[in-house]
Amino acid sequence: MKAKKQDQAALLRRQPGSSRPRERLSGSIPDAGPPPALDEAALRAKIDPNRISYKMLNSEITHGSGIMMKALRVALPLVSRERGALVSQARILTDPNAILEFLADNPDMMVAHTLLERAWACEETMVMPLGALLTSRPEDHVAEFACLFFARAKADYTPHLLQIAPRVRDVYTLGVLCLALGACDRMGLGLRFVWNVYRHLNQLYGSPLDQGPLFGLLGYAERRGTVPISPKGG
């Protein structure tokens, strides 16, 4: 039992700083034309099994934050007093700017998942400041926080995301934004944009930087039949 609890605590380890190159787009994203029919099996075949960060994000979007919150409750008694205090501070925040400032200062998975619950509690007022952060080359943990927030928000913020997307220049951030669109876009407005980004990043970089929009396309494919395919989404 103790080993199981330690395993759950490991899921909520302190998140290290990113060591990856910070690729930045220059110029606009070319229009690749209307996206083809989305073949779920063909998209899954392109997933790079060695890139787990996108898989973890996609899994949490699919299955919800309940598993991580349960792990947090189990793990909290096992972590340091310092980390426990951070989580306690995060739990009482109610102002969107204070939540985002605390997130930026504390790149910790336990803190981030606690702050997500606080962000959803003030969803409507969180949208603008969090969206603005995506255009400012945020740290990876902030971009991933935004992805989870928009993907599982009560409302569909696709029009807002498509409005700010052309100003997102950091490649990793743009990729996780596309992943979020694949989960939250109820009308298919962003499909062509996600397709354009996938084609562009695939040609420029390949894996892993094309994996975010690839998972976004997979999200559209999985919801085929419930999501209209819009030719105007790019």
Asked if the structure places residue 2 within a domain, the reply is no
Q: How far apart are CA 190 and CA 95, in angstroms?
A: 30
Asked if the structure places residue 18 within a domain, the reply is no
Q: How far apart are CA 136 and CA 185, in angstroms?
A: 23
Structure tokens at 99: 């939540």
Peptide bond into 16 cis (omega under 30): no
Number of domains in the chain: 1
Structure tokens at 125: 């007022």
Asked if the structure places residue 1 within a domain, the reply is no
**Which pLDDT band holds residue 78 (cuts at 50, 70, 90)?**
low
Tens-place pLDDT, residues 168-223: 999 999 999 999 999 999 999 999 999 999 999 999 999 999 999 999 999 999 98
Asked if the structure places residue 233 within a domain, the reply is no
**Structural domain harbouring 86:** 35-222
Asked if the structure places residue 12 within a domain, the reply is no
Tens-place pLDDT, residues 37-70: 899 999 999 999 888 788 888 888 887 666 666 6
- Percent of the chain predicted with pLDDT > 70: 79
